[in-house]
Amino acid sequence: MHDLSLLTIIWMVVFVASMVSLKSEGLGNSPAATGIMTSAVLDDIASLALVAILVPMATGEATVSIEGIGLVMGKAIAFFVLVTLIGGWRFPASAGWVARIPLIGNFSLLRLLSMNRGEYTILALLLIAVLMGILSYNFGFHPAIGAYMAGLIVKREYFEFPLDHKADLQTDHHNQAKRIIDNMAFSWIGPVFFVTLGTKLIFEPELIVKVLPLSFLLFVGLFVGQVLSAALAARFTGKFDWASSWMIGFGMLGRAELAFVVMDIAYIEHQIINAEVFYTLMLTTFMLNISVPLTIRWWKSRYGNQTV
């Protein structure tokens, strides 16, 4: 079975490098930051869906035929529909005929998270992430897909626990859980994942020099395409002003943990791509991430310190 140690990273950390840069510039609560996070979530969902469909075909687990492609796409659709039903029908408090179903009728995520006045909230959240990861694995997909989707269907309202004690009024269980999960993801589990991935790299100077020109061309193409597409979409679809639209375009340049997970799947686990392609993508990702704080700081003078 795939390594489940990175589930908590993908699940709770819907994170792009741009958010760190925006916060450091005092723009963490700006309209552009909201637009970037919304776009990042949609971008990641689309990427996960493509990974779920393409990886089985690339590894030979599914045949490249009308029937094989249809089967993989059907499984992907069934999985995402099932996750949506769980988030919209099973996690909220049951009502009507659903409440009369034995065993699961009285279940709700709110009751699970509020057990013993929230002392087991973190354990429950991690359990949900792992179970969703196992579910996606049994559908034939990478467990990170299920863990990521679990983070999207856990709502803040599930943390509004019943007030059994006056001290509960002083505890924001959502912020408390977020703080603990962030600490886990950024302080010990996250670094372990990236260090583990890094130990699998062998730096070959000749190979790096060989792929550097192609990496630079790919970086330039992605830079221009990403900024233009995100900025124009924000302006004409999201109705942002031009200053915010360009900020969103620059913010969407960052390639976060999902990019490394996909490369790990393609290169380390299944050897779908060779070393040259892998190093090209790694260098391109590195240059895109470096460009995020530089472009955001440069554009800040034109954007203005628009905090909410």
- Comparing CA positions, the residue from 151, 81, 48, 49 lying closest to residue 89 is 81
- State the sign of the Cα–Cα–Cα–Cα dihedral 20, 34, 25, 23: negative
Domain ranges of the chain: 7-303
Q: What is the mean pLDDT of the chain?
A: 75
| Mean pLDDT along residues 226-252 | 88
pLDDT value, residue 197: 65
pLDDT value, residue 105: 59
| Mean pLDDT along residues 42-65 | 73
pLDDT value, residue 296: 85
In which residue are the tokens 């060989």 written? 210
Confidence of residue 9 (pLDDT cuts 50, 70, 90): very low
pTM of model > 0.75: no
Instruction: For residues 178 and 283, give the distance between their C-alpha atoms in angstroms, rounded to a whole number.
Output: 32
- Comparing CA positions, the residue from 268, 186, 69, 42 lying closest to residue 34 is 42
> Which of 135-149, 153-167, 194-208 shows the lowest per-residue confidence on average (mean pLDDT)?
153-167
Residue 91 DSSP class: S
pLDDT in tens, 101-122: 666 656 667 777 777 777 788 8
